[in-house]
């Protein structure tokens, strides 16, 4: 379904994630921005690793060739690498959605369904393969209707 795509070449950057962090902080009662920006310098390698996931290659071959695999790698790694003091799940979800939108796609699931799967990843209730499969079944072209017509 998503095997051949013209995906955004450049990965999300640290600055992109800092912008997400500031936007989430401005809409939250928590002081996510200050605490996380202090911590981000200590966990930069965790963040850098997560942001690189959609573009990882080995022997010249993409390890994650489909959109669902790329998006899953980004979201899963941001959640599990825990590069921030607080807000890892929210930041991961926002980064995942931005990555999809930049590539012309979006998640076709309710906020509650999306929250549930993010929490399942965070609690290790589901692994990366299951998360990838979930995304594969819930990613649609932006502004398109679902197959069920809902």
pLDDT tens figures, 27-53: 665 555 555 555 555 566 677 777 777
The CATH number assigned to the domain with range 14-141 reads 1.20.120.1870
Whether the pLDDT of residue 93 is over 90: the answer is: yes
108 or 65: which carries more pLDDT confidence? 108
End-to-end CA, the chain: 20
Whether the pLDDT of residue 148 is over 90: the answer is: no
Whether the pLDDT of residue 105 is over 90: the answer is: yes
Q: Which helix (H) or strand (E) holds 23?
A: helix 14-26
Segment 84-90 shows an average pLDDT of: 83
What are the boundaries of each domain within the chain? 14-141
Whether the pLDDT of residue 136 is over 50: the answer is: yes
Spatial separation of the C-alpha atoms in residues 21 and 30, rounded to whole Å: 11
pLDDT grade, residue 106 (50/70/90)? Answer: very high
Looking at residue 107, what is its pLDDT?
Answer: 97
Report the predicted TM-score, pTM, of the whole model to 2 decimal places: 0.69
Spatial separation of the C-alpha atoms in residues 133 and 131, rounded to whole Å: 5
Whether the pLDDT of residue 140 is over 90: the answer is: yes
Segment 113-127 shows an average pLDDT of: 98
Secondary structure of residue 69 in the 3-state scheme? helix
Tell me whether residue 48 is exposed, middle or buried, using C-beta atoms within 10 angstroms of its C-beta: 0 to 12, 13 to 18, 19 or more. Answer: middle
């Amino acid at each position: 379904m998503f095997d051949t795509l013209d995906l955004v070449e450049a990965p999300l950057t640290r600055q992109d994630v800092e912008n997400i962090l500031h936007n989430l902080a401005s809409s939250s009662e928590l002081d996510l921005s200050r605490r996380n920006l202090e911590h981000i310098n200590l966990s930069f390698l965790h963040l850098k690793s997560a942001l690189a996931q959609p573009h990882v290659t080995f022997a010249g071959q993409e390890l994650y060739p489909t959109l669902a695999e790329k998006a899953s790698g980004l979201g899963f790694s941001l959640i599990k690498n825990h590069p921030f003091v607080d807000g890892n799940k929210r930041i991961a979800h926002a980064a995942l959605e931005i990555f999809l939108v930049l590539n012309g796609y979006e998640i076709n699931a309710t906020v509650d369904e999306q929250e549930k799967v993010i929490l399942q990843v965070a609690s290790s209730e589901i692994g990366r393969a299951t998360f990838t499969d979930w995304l594969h079944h819930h990613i649609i072209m932006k502004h398109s209707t679902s197959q069920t017509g809902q």
